[in-house]
Amino acid sequence: MNAKTPDKSITADTFLRGLWRENPVFVMLLGMCPVLAVTNSVANALAMGLATTFVLLCSSTLVSLLRRHIPKEVRIASYIVIIASFVTVVDYIIQAVSLEIYNALGAFIQLIVVNCIILGRAESYASRHRVSKTLVNSLGMGAGFTIALLCLGSVRELLGAGTLLGQPVFGAAFEPWVIMLLPPGGFFVLGAWLLLFAWIKERQDRRQREAANLEARAHAG
Amino acid sequence: MQAESLGFIFLNAAIINNFVLALFLGICPFLGVSGKLKTATSMGIATALVMFISSLCAYAINLILLHFDLEFLRLIAYIAVIASAVQLVEMSMKKFSPTLFRALGIFLPLITTNCAILGLALFQTFRDYDFLQSVAYSTGAGAGFLLAIVLMAGLREKLELSDVPSISRGAAMSLMLAGILSLSFMGFAGLGGH
């Protein structure tokens, strides 16, 4: 077996870390371009999330299978070719399933190739872990990415068009914030989500510090 | 074939549909390398250079692929071309400007996964631009990227000195700044169509 494999067992953490602690979008800030560009509606966000998850799953499984046969010197090039092949597959699948979504996502389907999450996973995880573990991990990462896209997509669609999945939510008196559907809205909504998470984290840290302080004082007293 | 003048294509790519602020391409270096004005400028120039070279190569490759009916290989061919163009820029920069080469460090090879470059190659194919139009489009896109990253770096250098709430330091603040920048670029939207 590969000597570098540190831990062979698959735990819940293998899957869950992609959802929260190492969330590709909110924590690692990877793959920003599709996150901002296609999240002007929930349907687009979902399609993009699923497409990326599919490519992520297939490419990291293949990389993991081939990890002992790819020479170190050409590994990045090989990963890119593997990823590009799967993206071409996804491109044709989406075109066949729904032309409407294909037109809405435009070039961003093909741009999955240069999504740093996929190459990053191939390089830092799939090339070092066995297939089943890689599969679980990339499923988690893909789910985390999809959830992040949905977080942005739902807020932007709700505020920008007053609808959710095309269904009107507010009454007719609601004046849509068109800015949310336009490019600046993407930046603002993602910034707001990051602020929210930073706030939660800071509150947790402060609680921990206070608890530690109390304990120290109790010991001193 | 659209009857767009070369000047319009250039302005369109550089300002009206700025690659970073309106089309969301190349956000990673835009947020990652915009901390210092000097590095941001050299990153912008290097990216613009790669954009120009890879756009020319992509144009040639597309002609070959069309000739042999191999459009489904387009994506793989483009990404290979871009990776080689980056390599080329890296080598020539190492030879002609070692200081710039050292300043950019790890960011140079990362230009390969900058979606602005692959995006440029794909867009010019979708729009059926001829040779001169592709040249105008790629120089415009490069200039737009340079403009955006330099503006952002200038703003962030100012921000270093200001007192912002602790939770908004880092990525969240940069995104808000980018949002405002993008908002101001929307003012150019009236200049032309999509």
Contact A194 B25 (CB under 8 A): no
Say how many Å lie between the first and final Cα of chain B, rounded. Answer: 16
A→B contacts (Cβ < 8 Å), by residue, are 29-30, 32-33, 36-37, 77, 80-81, 84-85, 87-88, 91-92, 107, 110-111, 113-116, 119, 179, 182-188, 190-192, 194-195, 198-199, 202
CA-based torsion, A208, A209, A211, A215: positive or negative: positive
Write out chain B residues lying below 8 Å of A183, CB-based. Answer: 21-24, 182, 186
More reliable by pLDDT, B2 or B152: B152
For B:114-153, CB contacts with A below 8 A are 114-115, 118-119, 122-123, 126
Write out chain B residues lying below 8 Å of A192, CB-based. Answer: 172
pLDDT of residue A12: 76
Burial (CB < 10 A; 0-12, 13-18, 19+), residue B64, is exposed
How large is the average pLDDT for residues A197-221?
86
User: Per-residue confidence at B3, pLDDT binned at 50, 70, 90?
Assistant: low
- ipTM surpassing 0.85: no
How large is the average pLDDT for residues A83-107?
89
User: Of A29, A87, A202, which has the smallest distance from its Cβ to B166's Cβ?
Assistant: A202
pLDDT of residue A5: 45
- With pLDDT > 90 as the criterion, what percentage of chain B qualifies? 14
| Residue A29 phi, psi dihedral angles, 5° rounding | 55, 45
What is the average pLDDT value for chain A, to the nearest integer? 85
Measure in Å the smallest separation between the Cα of A26 and chain B Cα atoms. 10
Is the Cβ–Cβ distance between A83 and A113 less than 8 Å? yes
| Nearest Cα residue in chain B from A203 | B167
What confidence tens digit (pLDDT) does each residue in A127-157 have?
A: 888 888 889 989 999 999 999 999 999 999 8
User: Per-residue confidence at A4, pLDDT binned at 50, 70, 90?
Assistant: very low
B28 touches chain A (CB under 8 A): yes
User: Of A37, A85, A179, which has the smallest distance from its Cβ to B24's Cβ?
Assistant: A37
Burial (CB < 10 A; 0-12, 13-18, 19+), residue B73, is middle
pLDDT of residue A3: 41
A165-179, B44-58, B78-92: least confident range: A165-179
More reliable by pLDDT, B65 or A171: B65
Of B107, B148, B143, B140, nearest in space to B123 by CA: B140
Write out chain A residues lying below 8 Å of B167, CB-based. Answer: 195, 198-199, 202
User: Per-residue confidence at A177, pLDDT binned at 50, 70, 90?
Assistant: confident
B87 touches chain A (CB under 8 A): no
Residue spans per domain, chain A? 12-193
pLDDT of residue A2: 42
pLDDT of residue B80: 85
